[in-house]
Chain A
Amino acid sequence: MRHRERWHALGFISPALAGLTVFTALPVALAVVMSLFDWPIFGDREFIGLGNYRALLTDTPDFWPALRNSVLFTVLYVPTNLAVALGLALLLGPRLHGRAVFRVLFFIPVVTPMVANALVWKLVLQPQGLLNGLSTAWLGITLPNFLVDRNWAMIAIVVMSVWAGMGYNMLVLTAALEQLPTSVLEAARMDGAQGWRLLIRVTLPLISPAIFFAAVMTIIGSLQVFAQPQLLTGGGPGTSTIPLVMFIYDTGFTFQDLGLAAAAAWLLFVLIIGITVLQFRAQRRWVHYEH
């Protein structure tokens, strides 16, 4: 009986096992190998050891700007995203009339294609688009051309991305707020905690596990940003908004240097894992678990 169960288990698991072997384990192993080769899309491959990694760190002009841009995007995007999401989650609390409608509304861009979201904002941010056009017509103020301005392009990408992405965290935090024990909040109110004090001393610590989860996931996601800069600015002006993933894509498929792209992808992976580990280390200082 037990013996047969083992064979059945093998049968049940084999589709997933085969798929993960071919489409995850194999590519991961291949990525290691590729990063050690000069590996063009077509043509001969040549083993070059750590040459790709050395090339990235020393003489690939776009790599450091791309790394810097991904980090800058993350530093600007994650706190803004969390702040807006938290603000809305608190605002759309249990006593607000029509909160369900608002929640759905703010969540919609999370599920619509990012390409469509970005193109809508590209139109809004054109020099004769809605924002600049209205500012000129109503206020007589000429705004900068956001998408091609060195100082504004990244900010425009961040604003657009927060608009598109914060709805998810809003719901994560809403779910956490709804699960708060009312008895604790009542007790805190009885003790005279109100407004900001209640929020900062009681509510936020209580939902800190959810905030931590949201922060970790959002940072991982934002280090992988691609579609928004690719469509809004094309990485420009200059290299000021090229993120790492766009660098990897361009290196691999525009310049057809797959080995260098694979090496860059590993550096991105190390960055993501490193930052995630750091966050788990730091969580003891500010995340409070009940049990």
Chain B
Amino acid sequence: MSTERLRSGLAHTTAVLAAVIFTTPLVYAFFSALKPSREVLLAPPTLIGSEVRWSNFAEVFDYAPFTTYIMNSFLTSVAGVMVVLFVSATAGYAFARLRWRGREVVFVLFLGTLMVPQEVLVIPMFVVMQWFGWVDTYPALILPWAFTAFGTFLMRQFFRGIPYELEEAARVDGAGPVRTFTRIILPLAGPALAVLAVFTFLNYWNSYLWPLIAVNDYATLGTLPIGLASFSSQTGTRWDLQMAASIISMVPTTLLVVALQRHLVKGIATSGLGGR
């Protein structure tokens, strides 16, 4: 009994210690964001500078077109989520519930596209953007990665779990596939759509390599990750502002995870990103 208690006390202490070490960089970044610029890298390191400058968080928006970066990130993420949800739900329905010749073959082809990593696609994708005249446009930031088969796969798996009786009843009432889809299937698909929406939002919000390629005009079309680098220049780095901006960019996704914390383990287990 007492060794049991000792062991659980030890485990708890280890966890707390690990958590403290783990969060130290973030805490340090946060306090650095509150310092006057020239004190960020003063030796010896201190937690709090000669004054606490909350105004740094406001100055971020004056120093760089930071409002534009945030708006661009939100716009492309939300638009990306909407396209992905629409495309995945419709295709997932066709694969899960409609009977047509060649369904299995086409599905395997769909899954095959998941093997190709983004890094192989970015170079030719840039040329496709040149052909379309899409370099430095919003469609270039939104559409190229909105058709991943992952979403279709996820929705198909979910739709297959919905009892057929519900659909049969609607069919008997004379509803065609479109009505069945919008009235019966979609309203039940909330949880799966939510999982897909979260994954997609995170992908767009954090994406870095592609915006770097698709956009030259950072001041107008830059997204947050690209904007964060703009606090470094030839003349040096405004560490205070860069940290404030980094913290700001972390807030929405962190809130998302905290809000969804109860579903975290289960969400990872079920969406499993493809089972085994």
Contacts and interface: CB of A to CB of B under 8 A. Distances in A.
B123 to A, nearest CB: 5
Interface residues of A, number: 94
B265 A103 contact: yes
Q: In terms of DSSP, what is the predominant structure of the interface of chain B?
A: helix
Q: How large is the interface on B (under 10, 10 to 19, 20 to 34, 35 or more residues)?
A: 35 or more
Contact of B87 (A19, A227, A273): A19
Interface in A256-289: 258, 261-262, 265-266, 268-269, 272-273
B120 A16 contact: no
A148 B121 CA distance: 32
B116 A24 contact: yes
B116 A115 contact: no
B15 A91 contact: yes
Contacts of A175: 265-266, 268-269
B41 interface: yes
A123 B8 CA distance: 36
Interface in A28-57: 28, 30-31, 34, 39
Interface in B204-228: 205-206, 208-209, 212-213, 224-226, 228
Contacts of A272: 117
A178 interface: yes
A34 B42 contact: no
Interface string A10-34: 1011011101101111111011001
B149 A20 contact: yes
B18 A88 contact: yes
Contacts of A146: none
A35 B32 CA distance: 46
Interface of A: 2, 4-6, 8-10, 12-13, 15-17, 19-20, 22-28, 30-31, 34, 39, 88, 91-93, 95-100, 102-108, 111-116, 119-121, 123-124, 126, 128-130, 133-134, 136-137, 163, 168, 171-172, 174-176, 178-179, 209, 212-213, 217, 220, 224, 226-227, 231, 244-245, 248-249, 252-253, 258, 261-262, 265-266, 268-269, 272-273
Interface of B: 8, 11-12, 14-15, 18-19, 22-26, 28-29, 32, 40-45, 86-88, 90-91, 93-95, 98-101, 103, 106, 110, 113, 115-128, 143-147, 149, 152, 176-178, 181, 202, 205-206, 208-209, 212-213, 224-226, 228-229, 239, 242-243, 246-247, 249-250, 253-254, 256-258, 261-262, 264-266, 268-269, 272-273, 276
